[in-house]
Homo-oligomer: A and B are copies of this chain.
Amino acid sequence: MNRRRRSDCPIAISLDLLGDRWTLLVLRDMVFYQRQYFHEFMDAVEGIASNTLADRLVRLERAGVISKERDPKDGRRRRYVLTDYGIEAIPLLVDLNVWGAKLGPDRAYPASRLARMRDHRESTIRHYRDRVLASRGGEGLDQRTLEPGVPKGAP
Contact = CB atoms under 8 A, between A and B. Distances in A.
Nearest to A108: B8
A102 interface: yes
B12 A25 contact: yes
Interface stretch (A14-22, A49-57, A136-144): A14-22
Main secondary structure of the interface of A (DSSP, over half): helix
A14 B99 CA distance: 7
Contacts of A67: none
A92 interface: yes
A89 to B, nearest CB: 6
B19 A104 contact: no
15 contacts: A9-B45, A10-B99, A10-B103, A11-B24, A11-B96, A12-B46, A12-B100, A13-B104, A14-B103, A15-B96, A18-B96, A20-B21, A63-B103, A88-B102, A92-B99
Instruction: Pick the most buried of A1, A10, A22: most chain B CB atoms within 10 A of its CB.
Output: A10
Contacts of A103: 10, 13-14, 17, 63-64, 85
